[in-house]
């Protein structure tokens, strides 16, 4: 039988009453009491503030004090022991006062021998038990909440400065201020990013340790899931010159039920490791499913890298464990990835295993259980979005391309992409190297892809020089600056097109393909006319027009004629563009500009720039004398149409 034990404090200055109470308590069946007896206020408070008793039986008259005095003093000392007050005779007012002051009950000593006393004790004990359990869970909650708060706080505290470090480093790298420090800034950026990954890993690990990691299972469509992963991994693989391959069993479930974010994290981690620890060959992902054993699906990540010695296999799954190898010191990582992956997979009711041979490569397998009730129909896995396959789908281009970038990573990256498009690739690390390469008699580049922010000579200075040298093939600018007006400014300097960073492979392909095509047409027509290509100068037009719709229309019309054009929308912006660049073969000047007259603008341009042909665009006829006076070659009457432009540039 369940025996309840409790520690009881009796505060009673009359020994007879104490003995009576004690006798009564001992008579209570299924209870065992440990009794402490005190006879004065100080001893009572001493005991009460220790909070070690389940109940206190308090005599209402304790020397000079009332029970309510004692109760209030005890509460002030932080006691929460339930107090049952005992008094000589029944008194409704006292009863009310005592309960109001926080007493658990109020009994007349004469009642001690009857059921009322027993009930009061039992009730107080139950209440004490409930209160104890509540306190315990409250404390646990406070403790765990403060741990959570600490982790959340730590994460916030570390993330905030990291955000600034990463953000400003990127800003500096992409802005004019990087100059000679871009290598150092890239190092800061890499390390900052590494720190952020580490922080994420540590947070994951602490969530796992606290049992706080909540998985959010959902239906995962394998086609797009695998496609997205391969698309993401294509770039790091090709940066290291590795093939990223994909294999699948003939039939696999159309979807599986697991936490997509976490499963993706695991597979990406394995693929990243594969790439990190492989210098030659390939890394592959395989989705392995056997219809004869439909209770499992396996994701295998294989590499042809450095491999792992048999004796070390267990070690790599322990947090912060990395295999000592001086050759790997260059690799980043904290040895947390596999520990987290193992735990995540375990939580998904799966396992990670590895087979590896030192020097030959490794095969990591994530095996997940597929509950019968959640099985989906089988189908062939059709991963369309794999980047490696997409590259092969690019129609192959021919031509020789010069890639100019001071950052070897970016240079190699763009180089890899261009090679994948079928192009012959050469490199230069800054503007002056690019000029040297272009000037080489045999160089014969069909196209140049040039970064803007470079040490020694940046892209802006380089393009002006390149155009002055008479190089008239397409030059594409690479820039991360996406501020308004940068495109316009770069085109006005002589770039044919501007490609934003981070570089989108498809955009790069399309841009190169378009420009190589248009160059070919020019060349064909030049050869047809039997002219030396060097003597041909592509028209490059500046359209000075404040009405943006009208200006854009003229640009569109010119582009339809294969002519590159840029817009200046005021007198002053025209002057500053022309001062920066002597690249405009023609300048179309609107006669009425908000900040000046097109005719006097023509005179001003003529004072420092005689290379460009000036054409005035006006709503009224302008006499030949006027044209001559202002140094203007011809006039176009508004509204401008294609025919007028064809006549002008034909």
Nearest distance in Å: CB 281, ligand ADP: 12
DSSP symbols for 433-470: HHHHHHHSTT---SEEEEESS-SSS-HHHHHHHHHHTT
**Structure tokens belonging to residue 303:** 């590499």
Closer by beta carbon to ligand ADP, 226 or else 302 = 302
Min dist CB 271 to ligand ADP, Å, is 9
Taking the complex as a whole, the smallest distance from the CB of residue 263 to ligand ADP amounts, in Å, to: 16
With contact defined as beta carbons under 8 Å apart, do 616 and 598 qualify? yes
- Residue where the block lists tokens 């392995």: 288
Q: Which is nearer to ligand ADP, 260 or 333 (CB)?
A: 333
CB of 277 to ligand ADP, least distance (A): 3
Are residues 251 and 291 in contact, defined by beta-carbon separation less than 8 angstroms? yes
339 vs 454, beta carbon nearer ligand ADP: 339
Residue pointed to by tokens 């503007």: 431
Shortest gap between Cβ of 369 and ligand ADP (angstroms)?
A: 23
Would you say 614 and 632 are in contact if contact means Cβ atoms under 8 Å apart? yes
- Given a contact cutoff of 8 angstroms between Cβ atoms, the answer to whether 604 and 633 are in contact is no
Long-range (24+ apart) CB contacts under 8 A made by 166-171 are 166/192, 166/193, 166/196, 170/480
Nearer to ligand ADP, 273 or 612 (CB): 273
Q: How far is the CB of 235 from ligand ADP (least distance, A)?
A: 18
Taking the complex as a whole, the smallest distance from the CB of residue 302 to ligand ADP amounts, in Å, to: 9
479, two tokens: 């820039």
DSSP classification of residue 219: E
Task: List residues binding ligand ADP (CB under 6 A).
Answer: 273-274, 277, 303, 305-308, 316, 322-323, 333-339, 362
Q: How many CB atoms lie within 10 A of CB 298?
A: 17
Toward ligand ADP, which CB reaches closer, 307 or 399? 307
Q: In terms of Cα–Cα distance, which of 418, 424, 486, 484 is closest to 452? A: 486
Other CB atoms within 10 Å distance of the CB of residue 83: 29
335 vs 631, beta carbon nearer ligand ADP: 335
Q: What are phi and psi of 324, to 5 degrees?
A: -65, 120
Shorter beta-carbon distance to ligand ADP: residue 329 or 484: 329
* Residue (of 540, 565, 538, 571) closest to 553 by Cα position: 565
Whose Cβ is closer to ligand ADP: residue 316's or residue 462's? 316
Q: Give the 3-state secondary structure of residue 411.
A: helix
Radius of gyration of the chain (CA): 41
Task: Give the phi and the psi of residue 588 in degrees, each rounded to 5.
Answer: -90, 115
Least separation, in Å, of the C-beta of 471 and ligand ADP? 46
Q: Which is nearer to ligand ADP, 147 or 346 (CB)?
A: 346
Q: Least distance to ligand ADP from the beta carbon of 300, Å?
A: 12
Residue bearing tokens 């916030």: 156
Round to whole Å and give the CA distance between 232 and 210: 31
Residue whose C-alpha is closest to residue 405's, from 393, 395, 414: 414
By Cβ distance, which residue is nearest to ligand ADP? Answer: 333
CB-nearer residue toward ligand ADP: 335 or 606: 335
Cβ atoms of 571 and 619 closer than 8 Å: no
Instruction: Report, in Å, the least distance between residue 456 CB and ligand ADP.
Output: 36
């Amino acid at each position: 039988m369940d025996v309840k034990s409790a520690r009881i404090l009796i505060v009673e200055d009359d020994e007879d009453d104490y003995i009576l109470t004690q006798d009564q308590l001992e008579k209570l069946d299924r209870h065992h009491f440990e009794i402490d007896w005190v006879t004065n206020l100080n001893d009572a408070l001493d005991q009460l503030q220790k909070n070690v008793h389940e109940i206190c039986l308090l005599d209402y008259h304790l020397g000079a004090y009332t029970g309510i005095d004692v109760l209030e003093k005890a509460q002030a000392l932080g006691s929460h022991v339930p107090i049952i007050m005992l008094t000589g005779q029944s008194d409704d007012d006292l009863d009310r006062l005592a309960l109001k002051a926080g007493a658990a009950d109020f009994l007349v000593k004469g009642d001690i021998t009857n059921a009322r006393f027993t009930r009061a004790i039992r009730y107080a004990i139950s209440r004490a038990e409930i209160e104890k359990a509540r306190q315990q869970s409250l404390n646990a909650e406070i403790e765990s909440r403060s741990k959570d708060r600490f982790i959340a706080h730590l994460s916030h505290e570390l993330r905030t400065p990291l955000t600034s470090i990463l953000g400003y480093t990127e800003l500096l790298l992409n802005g004019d201020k990087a100059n000679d420090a871009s290598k150092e800034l890239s190092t800061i950026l890499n390390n900052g990013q590494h720190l952020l990954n580490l922080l994420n890993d540590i947070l994951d690990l602490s969530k796992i340790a606290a049992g706080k990691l909540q998985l959010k299972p959902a239906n995962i469509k394998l086609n797009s899931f695998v496609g997205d992963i391969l698309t993401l991994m294509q770039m790091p693989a090709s940066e290291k010159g590795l093939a990223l391959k994909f294999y699948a069993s003939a039939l696999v479930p159309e979807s599986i039920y697991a936490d997509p974010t976490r499963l993706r994290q695991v597979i990406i981690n394995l693929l990243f490791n594969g790439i990190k620890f492989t210098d030659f060959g390939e890394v592959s992902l395989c989705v392995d499913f056997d219809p004869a054993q439909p209770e499992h699906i396996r994701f295998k990540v294989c590499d042809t890298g450095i491999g792992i010695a048999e004796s070390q296999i267990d070690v790599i799954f322990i947090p912060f464990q990395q295999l000592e190898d001086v050759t790997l010191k260059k690799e980043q990582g904290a040895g947390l990835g596999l520990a987290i992956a193992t735990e995540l997979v375990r939580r998904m009711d799966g396992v990670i295993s590895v087979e590896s041979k030192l020097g030959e490569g490794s095969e990591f397998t994530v095996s997940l259980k597929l509950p019968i009730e959640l099985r989906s129909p089988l189908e062939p896995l059709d991963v369309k979005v794999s980047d490696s396959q997409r590259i092969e789908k690019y129609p192959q281009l021919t031509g020789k391309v010069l890639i100019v970038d001071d950052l070897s990573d970016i240079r190699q990256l763009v180089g890899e992409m261009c090679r994948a498009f079928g192009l012959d690739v050469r490199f230069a690390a800054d503007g002056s190297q690019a000029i040297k390469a272009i000037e080489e008699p045999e160089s014969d580049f069909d196209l140049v892809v040039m970064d803007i922010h470079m040490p020694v000579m940046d892209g802006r200075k380089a393009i002006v020089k390149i155009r002055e040298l008479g190089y008239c093939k397409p030059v594409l600018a690479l820039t991360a600056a996406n501020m308004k007006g940068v495109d316009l400014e770069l085109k006005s300097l002589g770039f044919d097109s501007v490609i934003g960073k981070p570089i989108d492979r498809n955009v790069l392909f399309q841009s190169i393909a378009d420009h190589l095509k248009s160059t070919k047409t020019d060349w064909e027509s030049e050869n047809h006319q039997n002219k030396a290509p060097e003597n041909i100068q592509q028209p490059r037009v500046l359209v000075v027009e404040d009405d943006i719709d009208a200006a854009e229309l003229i640009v569109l019309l010119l582009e339809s004629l294969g002519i590159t054009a840029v817009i200046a929308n005021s007198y002053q912006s025209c002057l500053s563009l022309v001062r920066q660049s002597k690249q405009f073969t023609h300048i179309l000047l609107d006669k009425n500009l908000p900040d000046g007259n097109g005719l006097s603008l023509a005179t001003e341009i003529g004072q420092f720039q005689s290379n460009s042909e000036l054409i005035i665009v006006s709503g009224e006829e302008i006499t030949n004398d006027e044209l001559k006076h202002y140094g203007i070659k011809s006039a176009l009457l508004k509204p401008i149409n294609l025919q007028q432009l064809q006549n002008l540039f034909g």
